[in-house]
Chains A and B, each alone.
Chain A
Amino acid sequence: MAPSKIKQEEAALPPQEVYYLKETPTPLTPEPFYTNYHQGVPIALDIGASSFKVGLTNANEPNNVFPSVLARYRYRKKPVTVTIVGNDVYRDPLLKTSIKSPFDGPLLTNWDYVESMLDYTFEHLGVTSNNGKLNNPIIMTEPVGCPLSQRTNMYELLFEAYQAPKVTFGIDSLFAFHANSKPNSDGLVIGTGHELTHVIPVVGGKGILLQTKRIDWGGNLSQQFLARLLGMKYPYFPSKITSDHTTNMFKDFCYILENYSDQLKGFLDMPNLEQNDVVIQAPVDLSLHTVKKKSEEELAKQLQRKKEQGRRLQEQQQQKRLEKKIQKQEELDYYSKLRDEIATISKQEQLDRVVDEGFEDLGEFNKYVKNLEKTLKSKDDDEDEGPVDPATAWPLVDIPDDQLNDEQIKEKRKQKLLKGNYDARERNKEIQRQEEEAKLQREKEEIEWRERDLEDWSNSKRLKVAELIGKHTEKVKLLESFKDRKSMAAQQRMKNITDLANDQSVGASGNASNRKRRRAAASIDNDPTDTFGANDDDWGVYREITNSSLEEDLDQISKQIVAIEEDLLNYDPSFHHEDTFSASQTFDWQNLVLHKFVHGPRPNLNLALQTEGIPAEEIANHPEIILKNHQMHLNIERIRVPEVLFQPHTAGLDQAGIIELLSDLLWKRLDGNFNPGGQAYNLIQNILITGGLANLKNFDKRVQTELTGVLPVGAPLKVRTAKNPITDAWKGMQKWSQDEESKHSYVSKAEYEEYGPEYIKEHGLGNVCLR
């Protein structure tokens, strides 16, 4: 920006695009029922912590994909409990608060819910039976290294409740790899889930579970992390942010940076922030907040009314005074007439008349009349007071005392006093006039100085400003240090306070009786020498030592600075608005990291309205401000949350990140041979990212770039994302169900009954037995 003489208005930026808080919408179509059901066809169930993907394997797509949630709701009026599963829970706002998941963390924990959800699943797959049993083989997913209790419960449910003929379990990420690769290929799967993320090497189409590693982080934890970050960023956010909201925010706006440390540096800088910042608007009902504003007309009317009232009051007062005066005049007339009348009669008769009128004796009567005369006279005097002529107003002052009688001497004394007053006034006026003249003279000199040697003038002015600024900052510092109880200045101040208090209380309680009492009983709680507060005036100490004088000084200094700077602005061509003290003090939001972090790439509206002089109350009710208060800015969170996968320590997880796991796996735990024919050489050519987080933008690019840095030059690295990260696991199950391998991987009901829940048949895409 070029320097300018006047304060520049900031170029108005266009308003940012606003996104509304998103909730899971009401499903438009009812959950579909499968029409091509046949007994004996394997049913594939991918039961993820985030969603169930289920279908018969005679189709190419899962028939139903629904969130793994369930809601039980009990109607109050008619005692009926409804059990709603999957997408249907979003059909009625009634259910919102009772939505539950059968999962706790990565494991199934609530088996009643699981059973309900399986009932729902099989009904939607069109399962019918004529023998009371489920006559289809089951292919199901389970976590890597599945705990026994989990499998026991699932076996029990499938074999006892549904009486399925045979069941097999597998790992979702490996099924997804199977769907995305040629048979018997080598590769690596990065399987991201709702709660867990796995890195699994695959050799010859078989998962190597021994070399598998798991990071305890996934989509749900990311969502929770985002919610916590936002809670810290906007601690007083007026509306409630649910996990549904944050899940959608995470899905819609979070992404992965290809090069985190480099791109993070300029992330909040101005041109970048424009696209990095996302505004989320929480719903707000403006009509609730708007208070009816008084119009200009109404305000004028109000003022008029006030004035009218004042005037009327004054009139009344005047009227009253006049009435009183008239009354007094009448009284005086009456009594003076009485006085004239009784002047001629005898003393006794005079007394009688006076007593009849209500006086005690003649003296009182005379006094009363005299007072009446006096008050009326003084009132008359008040009214006529013109300008005084000093030559003639006090004629007696210059005449010596011996030429005057007593009365005149008294009068002279009075006149002397008046003259003294008058002279003093005149003297003050004279001094003022001289000061004004001197000021004009100074200004004239300054103008001359300026015209003669502008450089010298401006230099000395600038020096003066610098000196004042120094003083200003010193005072500000002092004021600031009072806030800290432990600072030197504050301690000194406390000392002064105690000294003052001591002085006063000793002075107040210095008499003998107090001293006697002091000796009588002295304890820490009841120290008789400490009488502070007994007298209300003691508290005045605090009034004496407030910092208001410091604030006044600050005010004065800044006024002086502004005055000098105004001169400089007017006459010094090299002094610009940007150089002024106030410009250096003003809030330039573009340079403030915190502002950009919290308020995004737009100026603070609140401050702008304040500088316009709009009262605080009105600002609080300003519709724009209310909208702003219900807004959140997502910027760093967008990249910070997914980054946890690569740097788990940023979320307090003491585990290695994906890249470290991969490089450790390739270099140390596998053969580390990146030449043709090597194991690592084969694996790096087929790295697959699957699961919900694979939808994050740039995930594959990030893995590609970072791994390239770790691997030898020219290693044939190839990273790709699953075609459809959510349903590919199910498709892999469907594909696998057609394979020969699957045919002998099922555990039949008879085998289960014989060998118990620990028994599984190992296959390339499943867990392994304990050895």
Chain B
Amino acid sequence: MSQTPETQSIDLQDLSVITTRPHTFKQNLHRVPPPRRYKTSKQLFTDEQKYLQTKDIKFDTPTWQSIGAPPSLKPNKHYCDITGLEGRYKNPSNGLRFHNVEIYQEVIRNMPPGVDQEYLKLRGANVVLK
């Protein structure tokens, strides 16, 4: 690490004080902080969905859900799962796409178990057991 002496002299605690000291602009004595339960984005989206269902909204109101891009209507182009080149061929046993015979012989045929699913996972084509 190349640190200039100037940056080295900065003390983390001094830096921290800027954020943590009492602020002149934040002196609401009556404030009761709301109970904050940590929720992931996923949970927040389901909450939002439930909330929207309680509202009687018009079909053309833009909401988080309605503006999501629809699935593509065009046929997907195929690419080699290993290299990313054009994927002309498909291994019938696990569905991996490959560019040429070399990729098949060198990679796919000698693939340790499970790795094929890892490759498929990259494009969301893996088998999910529930």
Residues of chain A at the chain B interface (Cβ within 8 Å): 26-28, 30, 73, 80, 82-85, 88, 91-95, 104-107, 109-112, 116, 119-120, 122-124, 127-130, 132-135, 143-150, 153, 156, 160-163, 198, 209-210, 212-216, 225, 228-229, 232, 261, 264-265, 267-268, 592-594, 597, 636-637, 640, 647-657, 660-661, 767-768, 770-771
Within 8 A of A (CB), among B32-47: 33-34, 36, 38-42, 44-45, 47
Bound form: Cα–Cα A130–B25 in Å: 8
Complex Cα distance, B72 from A648, in Å, reads 9
Contact of B61 among A212, A650, A768 (CB under 8 A): A768
Q: Are A232 and B69 in contact (CB under 8 A)?
A: no
Q: Check A593 against B123 for contact (C-beta < 8 Å).
A: no
Q: Does B129 contact A (CB under 8 A)?
A: no
B45's contact among A111, A147, A225, A768, by CB below 8 Å, is which?
A147
Determine whether the beta carbon of B84 is less than 8 Å from that of A84: no
Q: Does B100 contact A (CB under 8 A)?
A: yes
Do B7 and A91 touch across chains, with their CB atoms under 8 A apart? Answer: yes
Given contacts A27-B7, A647-B76, contact A594 B103 (CB under 8 A): yes
CB of A26 within 8 A of CB of B67, answer no
Instruction: Say whether, besides A80-B13, A120-B18, A146 and B64 are in contact (CB < 8 Å).
Output: yes
Contact assessment for A129 and B41 in the assembled complex, using a CB-CB cutoff below 8 Å: no
Instruction: Evaluate contact between B10 and A30: CB separation under 8 angstroms.
Output: yes
- Closest A residue to B106 by beta carbon equals A594
Task: From the candidates B62, B106, B124, name the one contacting A210 in the complex (CB within 8 A).
Answer: B62
Task: Tell which of B12, B77, B119, B123 touches A261, judged by Cβ atoms closer than 8 Å.
Answer: B77
Q: How far is the CA of A649 from the CA of B70 in the complex (A)?
A: 12
Q: Is the CB of A651 within 8 A of B122?
A: yes
The chain B residue with its CB closest to the CB of A95 is B12
Closest to B17 in A: A82
- Given A134-B25, A161-B31, do A214 and B67 touch, yes or no (CB 8 Å)? yes
B70 touches A655 (CB 8 A): yes
- In Å, the complex CA distance between A105 and B44 comes to 11
Decide if B93 is an interface residue (CB 8 Å cutoff). Answer: no
Q: Which residues of B contact A (CB under 8 A)?
A: 1-4, 6-7, 10, 12-13, 15-16, 18-20, 23-28, 31, 33-34, 36, 38-42, 44-45, 47-48, 51-52, 55, 57-58, 60-74, 76-77, 79, 82-86, 99-100, 102-103, 106-107, 118-119, 121-125
User: A212, A213, A265, A592: which contacts B86 (Cβ < 8 A)?
Assistant: A265
Assembled-state Cα–Cα distance A175/B33 (Å): 31
Q: How far is the CA of A209 from the CA of B64 in the complex (A)?
A: 11
Closest B residue by C-beta to A130: B24
Residue in chain A with minimal CB distance to B3: A26
Q: How far in angstroms is the closest Cβ of chain A from B17?
A: 9
Is the pair A148, B48 in contact by a Cβ cutoff of 8 Å? yes
In the complex, the answer to whether A128 meets B24 with C-beta atoms within 8 Å is yes
Besides the contacts A214-B68, A229-B122, A660-B74, what 4 more A-B pairs have beta carbons closer than 8 Å? A82-B16, A124-B18, A128-B24, A637-B84
Docked-complex contact A232 and B119, CB < 8 angstroms: yes
| B7 / chain A contacts, CB cutoff of 8 Å | 26-28, 91
The answer to whether residues A654 and B71 also contact, given A83-B16, A594-B103 and a CB cut-off of 8 A, is yes
CA distance A212 to B63 in the complex (A): 10
Residues of A within 8 A of B55 (CB): 770
> How close is A91's CB to chain B, nearest CB, in angstroms?
6
CB distance from B95 to the nearest CB of A (A): 13
Do the beta carbons of B73 and A660 come within 8 Å of each other?
A: yes
Q: Nearest CB to that of A106 among chain B residues? A: B41
- Output the least CB separation between A159 and chain B (Å): 10
Contact A651-B123, Cβ < 8 Å, known A264-B86, A656-B70, A770-B55: yes
Bound CA–CA A426/B88 (angstroms): 70
Give A770 to B62 CA distance when docked, in angstroms.
Answer: 8
> Using Cβ atoms and an 8 Å threshold, which residues of chain A touch B51?
147-149
- Asked whether, in the complex, the Cβ of A594 is within 8 Å of the Cβ of B107, the reply is yes
Cα A124 to Cα B125 in complex, Å, equals: 48
Interface SS, A side: mixed
Ordered by A's residue number, 7 sampled pairs between the chains whose C-beta atoms are within 8 Å are: A150-B44, A210-B62, A228-B122, A649-B76, A654-B72, A656-B70, A660-B73
Complex: chain B residue closest to A268, CB-CB:
B85
From A147, A156, A261, give the contact of B44 (CB < 8 A): A147
Q: Is the pair B57, A647 in contact by a Cβ cutoff of 8 Å?
A: no
A649 to B87 alpha-carbon distance, docked (Å) = 14
Q: How far is A229 from B84 in the complex, measured between Cα atoms in Å? A: 10
B25, B76, B79: the one contacting A122 at CB < 8 Å is: B25
Alpha-carbon distance A653/B125, docked complex (angstroms): 10
Decide if B67 touches A161 in the complex (CB within 8 Å). no
B94, chain A: closest CB distance, angstroms: 15
Residue of A with least CB distance to B55: A770
- Chain A residues within an 8 Å CB radius of B4: 28
For B119, the closest partner residue in chain A by CB is A232
Q: Assess the A161–B26 pair: CB atoms within 8 A.
A: yes
> In the complex, which residues of chain A have a beta carbon less than 8 angstroms from the beta carbon of B36?
111-112, 153
A771 to chain B: which residues have CB within 8 Å?
57-58, 60-61
Minimum Cβ distance to chain B for residue A649 (Å): 5
Q: Is the CB of B85 within 8 A of A636?
A: yes
CB of B15 within 8 A of CB of A82, answer yes
The answer to whether A133 and B123 touch (CB under 8 A), given A107-B41, A268-B85, A649-B76, is no
Which residues in A have their C-beta under 8 angstroms from that of B121?
652
Residue in B26, B39, B103 whose beta carbon sits within 8 Å of that of A134 in the complex: B26
Instruction: Given A228-B122, A637-B84, A651-B122, verify A215-B69 contact (CB < 8 Å).
Output: yes
Select one of B47, B67, B106 contacting A213, CB under 8 A: B67
**B99: A residues at CB distance < 8 A:** 593
Question: How far apart are the CA atoms of A147 and B44 in the complex, in Å?
Answer: 8
- Write the chain B residue with the least CB distance to A119: B19
Question: Do A594 and B102 touch (CB < 8 A)?
Answer: yes
A651 CA to B102 CA in the complex, in Å? Answer: 24
Cβ-defined contact, A120 with B84, below 8 A: no
The closest CB in chain B to the CB of A25 belongs to B2
CA distance A484 to B34 in the complex (A): 65
Assuming A83-B20, A156-B34, A656-B72, is B67 touching A109 (CB within 8 A)? Answer: no
Nearest Cβ on chain A to B2's Cβ, whole angstroms? 8
Residues of A close to B86: CB separation below 8 A: 261, 264-265
CB contacts (< 8 Å) of A107 on chain B: these are 41, 44-45
User: Contact between B69 and A661 (Cβ–Cβ < 8 Å)?
Assistant: yes
Contact A652–B24 (Cβ < 8 Å)? no
Min CB distance B111 to A, Å, is: 11
Q: How far, in Å, is A557 (CB) from chain B's closest CB?
A: 23
Chain B residues within an 8 Å CB radius of A637 = 84
Given A210-B60, A770-B57: A161 touches B28 (CB 8 Å cut-off): yes
Complex alpha-carbon distance, A232 and B36, angstroms: 39
> Given the complex, which residues of B lie within 8 Å of A92, measured CB to CB?
12
Please, which residues of chain B bring their CB within 8 A of the CB of A225? 122
B48 with A123: CB separation less than 8 A: no
CA distance A123 to B15 in the complex (A): 11
Question: What residues of chain A lie closer than 8 Å to B69, measured between beta carbons?
Answer: 213-216, 648, 655-656, 661
Instruction: Report chain B residues within 8 Å CB of A80.
Output: 13
